[in-house]
């Protein structure tokens, strides 16, 4: 067990909200941050981790056996600066006794849930399309038939994944907009059922009933392409898909087909299957971008001041706990 007064070396792969960095420095630890305003190149990462006791990477840094080797056997913790941790090889970390943590907190969950709800409202009221229209100088006079959308009130929201973020989305939907709620999750969420009258359904049934489907699952082998051709076929033709989880949860090719054939009414995506590319198949001429009923945001669902600071503090608190020989606050699991 490390002595509480021992000073350690923390390597941070990119500068971000600095409350956590300050906490680590205040505790007397040496914190090195990759200096450039870019995601750290792989070769640089492998060089710079040498000798670190804690590594604080971004979700864009692949953390695997090669990184663990490059760091050395003293490496104790990977404090991933994200709620998701599909960029970290958990099996390899466990084998080496390295703790992996993520950064869930009310602030992050709130930010993602708000963003998902903002996308839902923007789809319903055709905000993005109308914005482009007005900015292009095409508004020449009021018309009763222009940009007809749909009300959200009374519609059914289907949550796939009813954990912390899904539950916050549920609250907004039911208390703020009188929506009906259905959810699909490996676990029962009794609070959601009691407080918001939510019904737990198998995914196919949920897709058949929902007007809006919002995804809140982690990326796991079992959730890769969870939404593919069969699932789009189960959705209502008037329904919308919202994805603020991880890109590969949706089979993007199947989504393109569903949009082209008008199998669904539209989609809003904050994450992409081959991120940062918007379309996996670059020869496919960036088709997702061409649909007016598709809203794209560049993985910013947790990009609020409140969320970023909270993520910074949670990452630091996890590192400090491990340095003090205590259990991690938010182990990745």
Of 299, 306, 309, 324, catalytic: 299
What are the residues binding ligand DGY (CB under 6 A)?
59, 82-84, 302
What phi-psi label fits residue 149: left (phi over 0), alpha (psi between -120 and 50 degrees) or beta? Answer: beta
3/37 with CB nearer ligand DGY:
37
Give the residue ranges of DSSP H helices in the chain: 19-26, 42-48, 65-71, 90-95, 106-124, 127-135, 164-171, 177, 190-196, 203-209, 229-234, 252-260, 305-323
Task: Tokens for 115, please give them.
Answer: 């963003």
Angle between helical axes of 106-124 and 127-135 (0-180°, round to 10): 70
Q: Among this protein's residues, is 164 annotated catalytic?
A: no
Active site residue 275: yes
* Closer residue to ligand DGY (CB): 204 or 297: 297
Beta carbon of residue 297, minimum distance to ligand DGY (angstroms, whole number): 12
From the list 250, 252, 242, the residue with the least C-alpha distance to 152 is 242
Q: Annotated catalytic, 246?
A: yes
Beta carbon nearer to ligand DGY, 120 or 152: 120
> Cβ 303 to ligand DGY, closest distance in Å?
7
Minimum gap (Å) between residue 112 Cβ and ligand DGY: 7
Quickly count: other Cβ atoms within 10 Å of residue 33's Cβ: 17
* Minimum separation from the CB atom of position 161 to ligand DGY (A): 13
DSSP letter for 252, please.
Answer: H
With 0-12 / 13-18 / 19 or more C-beta atoms within 10 angstroms meaning exposed / middle / buried, residue 247 is buried
CB 290 within 8 A of CB 31: no
Instruction: State the nearest-atom distance from the C-beta of 80 to ligand DGY, in Å.
Output: 8
207 vs 268, beta carbon nearer ligand DGY: 268
d(CA 129, CA 120): 14
Q: Which member of 29, 126, 246, 308 is catalytic?
A: 246
Please identify, using beta-carbon distances, which residue of 93 and 107 lies nearer to ligand DGY: 107
Active site amino acids: 246, 275, 299
């Amino acid at each position: 067990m490390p002595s509480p007064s021992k000073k350690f070396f923390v390597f941070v792969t990119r500068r971000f909200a600095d409350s956590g960095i300050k906490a680590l420095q205040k505790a007397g630890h040496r914190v090195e941050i990759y200096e450039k305003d870019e995601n750290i190149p792989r070769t640089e990462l492998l060089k710079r981790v040498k000798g670190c006791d804690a590594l604080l990477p971004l979700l864009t840094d692949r953390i695997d056996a090669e990184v663990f080797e490059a760091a050395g056997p003293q490496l104790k913790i990977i404090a991933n600066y994200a709620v998701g941790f599909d960029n970290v090889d958990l099996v390899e970390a466990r084998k080496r006794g390295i703790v992996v943590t993520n950064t869930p907190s009310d602030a992050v969950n709130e930010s993602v849930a708000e963003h998902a709800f903002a996308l839902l409202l923007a789809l319903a009221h055709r905000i993005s399309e109308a914005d482009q229209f007005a900015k292009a100088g095409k508004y020449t006079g009021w018309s009763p038939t222009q940009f007809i959308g749909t009300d959200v009130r009374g519609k059914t929201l289907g949550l796939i994944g009813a954990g912390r973020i899904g539950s916050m989305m549920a609250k907004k939907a039911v208390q703020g907009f009188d929506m009906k709620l259905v959810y699909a999750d490996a676990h029962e969420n009794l609070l959601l059922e009691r407080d918001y009258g939510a019904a737990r359904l198998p995914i196919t049934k949920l897709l058949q009933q929902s007007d809006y489907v919002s995804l809140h699952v982690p990326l796991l082998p079992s959730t890769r392409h969870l939404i593919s051709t069969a699932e789009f076929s189960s959705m209502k033709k008037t329904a919308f898909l919202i994805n603020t989880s991880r890109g590969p949860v949706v089979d993007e090719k199947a989504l393109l087909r569903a949009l082209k054939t008008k199998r669904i009414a539209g989609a809003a995506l904050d994450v992409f299957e081959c991120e940062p590319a918007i379309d996996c198949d670059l020869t496919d001429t960036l088709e997702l971008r061409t649909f007016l009923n598709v809203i794209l945001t560049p993985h910013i669902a947790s990009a609020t001041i409140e969320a970023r600071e909270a993520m910074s503090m949670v990452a630091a608190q996890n590192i400090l706990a491990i340095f003090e020989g205590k259990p991690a606050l938010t182990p990745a699991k």
